[in-house]
């Protein structure tokens, strides 16, 4: 694990509190499986740091933060954060629990942040349903097209069966694959089967 802090005093304070813990092994940021990121707020600079660790380095960020606006909670999760602690409540034992959870593929949030995150996800889900997306995250049209792709039909056969134009079928598949970051039709079908959408 590694520590990333906004200043040397904070960095040394966190490292000093964790250095003697037998369950932890301090390494450089480039080698870390888990990186503890200490910040006052989640601003653009902090989001850039979090993305770098989660996407470029492949580490699992644990965020210790002083203040977190409602809008920044989901953004932090989107940046790869798997555990958060309030700075005012962060103790060496609490930080170690968050690091161990993150290293094991789990996560950790204070109860008040869990509640806020669940409310945000609920609002997003209701918004998705209002836009015609099913609870599973796929519109009925997307599910119909994917079922027919899974049955081995080509674009013209799908268009004929559903009374869509070929262009519409291609647009449905393109939109779905773009939104879910899928590489091709086979990947889309595999994803839909694995997630239980079809």
Tell me the per-residue pLDDT of 160-181, one tens digit each, with 9 for 90 and over.
999 999 999 999 999 988 888 8
Distance CA 23, CA 61 (A): 17
Residue 192 sits at the vertex; the CA angle it makes with 133 and 181, to the nearest 5 degrees, is 80
Question: Could you tell me which residues come within 8 angstroms of residue 188 by beta carbon, excluding any fewer than 6 positions away?
Answer: 146, 149, 173, 176, 177, 180, 182
User: Which one, of 143, 160, 141, 152, lies nearest residue 186 by Cα?
Assistant: 152
Is pLDDT at 106 greater than 50 in this prediction? yes
Clarify whether residues 156 and 106 are in a common domain: no
More confident residue, 196 or 170: 170
| Phi, psi of 127, rounded to the nearest 5 degrees | -65, -40
Clarify whether residues 43 and 85 are in a common domain: yes
Domain that holds residue 19: 2-125
More confident residue, 59 or 127: 59
Least confident of 53-57, 125-129, 130-134, 155-159: 130-134
Asked if 182 and 188 touch (Cβ cutoff 8 Å), the reply is yes
Asked if 42 and 16 touch (Cβ cutoff 8 Å), the reply is no
Clarify whether residues 144 and 47 are in a common domain: no
| Tally of structural domains, the chain | 2
Clarify whether residues 35 and 84 are in a common domain: yes
CA 143 to chain centroid: 24
Clarify whether residues 15 and 111 are in a common domain: yes
pTM for this predicted structure: 0.65
pLDDT value of position 135 = 46
User: Which one, of 10, 70, 75, 83, lies nearest residue 40 by Cα?
Assistant: 10
Asked if 137 and 128 touch (Cβ cutoff 8 Å), the reply is yes
- In tens, the pLDDT along 45-99 reads 999 999 999 988 889 999 999 999 877 888 898 899 999 999 999 999 999 999 9
Q: Could you tell me the pLDDT band of residue 198, with boundaries at 50, 70 and 90?
A: confident
Clarify whether residues 84 and 145 are in a common domain: no
DSSP code per residue over 139-171:
BHHHHHHHHHHHTT--HHHHHHHHT--HHHHHH
> What is residue 85's three-state secondary structure?
strand
């Amino acid at each position: 694990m590694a520590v990333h802090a906004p200043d040397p005093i904070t960095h040394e304070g966190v490292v000093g509190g964790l250095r003697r813990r037998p369950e932890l092994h301090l390494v450089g940021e480039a080698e870390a499986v888990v990186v503890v990121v200490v910040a006052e707020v989640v601003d653009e600079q902090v989001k850039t740091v979090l993305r770098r660790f989660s996407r470029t380095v492949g580490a699992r960020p644990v965020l210790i933060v002083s203040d977190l606006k409602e809008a920044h909670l989901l953004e932090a999760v989107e940046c790869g954060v798997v555990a958060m602690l309030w700075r005012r409540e962060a103790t060496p034992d609490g930080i170690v629990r968050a690091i161990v959870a993150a290293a094991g593929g789990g996560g950790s949030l204070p109860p008040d942040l869990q509640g806020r995150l669940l409310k945000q996800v609920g609002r997003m889900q209701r918004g998705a349903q209002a836009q015609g997306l099913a609870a599973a995250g796929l519109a009925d049209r997307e599910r119909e097209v994917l079922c027919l792709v899974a049955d081995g039909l080509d674009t013209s056969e799908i268009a004929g069966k559903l009374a869509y134009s070929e262009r519409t079928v291609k647009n449905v598949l393109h939109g779905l694959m773009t939104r879910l970051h899928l590489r091709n039709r086979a990947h889309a079908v595999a994803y839909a089967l694995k997630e239980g959408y079809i």
